[in-house]
Amino acid sequence: MPRISALSLGVVALTLGLAACGGSSSSSTTSSAPASSSSSSSSSASGSSGGSGAISESADPSGQLKFTKSTLTAKAGKATVDFTNSSSLPHNMTIVDSSGKQVGATPTFAGGTKSFTADLKPGKYTFYCSVPGHRQAGMQGTLTVS
């Protein structure tokens, strides 16, 4: 009788262990869904970049609190901003004009690419990560629009 109980407990433990693995596979499927949604954002970004400007920036993939570029340039008009965050740290990209007024921003996220569209007038803009402490650590740059 004790052997049957021990065997039953072993089967239950194995079943629970496999169920836990299945749950993690399900969460990576969930991760895939936003990625395809991001690529559809990318598709619309490349579709709109034909008639207007496109701006691409990335967070440092090693996890440092910086962007891959500290200066960007763009032509005046409607522009699609694509921000890629390959880091495991959550980041965003926020753009403000010279008076500090926000002209566009991505949500804060980790992994993938998010986009937004902004109508840019000629001038200097600041882009930065608005996650507390990131801008202060140096995660900002200058966008010049001509």
- What pLDDT sits at residue 52? 55
State the Cα–Cα distance between residues 23 and 65, nearest whole angstrom: 32
- pLDDT band at residue 34 using 50, 70 and 90 as cut-offs: very low
Q: What is the pLDDT of residues 105-131, one digit of tens each?
A: 999 999 999 999 999 999 999 999 999
Q: Which residue has the higher pLDDT, 48 or 133?
A: 133
From the list 140, 139, 114, the residue with the least C-alpha distance to 64 is 139
Whether the per-residue pLDDT at 26 is higher than 70: the answer is no
Whether the per-residue pLDDT at 33 is higher than 90: the answer is no
- What pLDDT sits at residue 67? 98
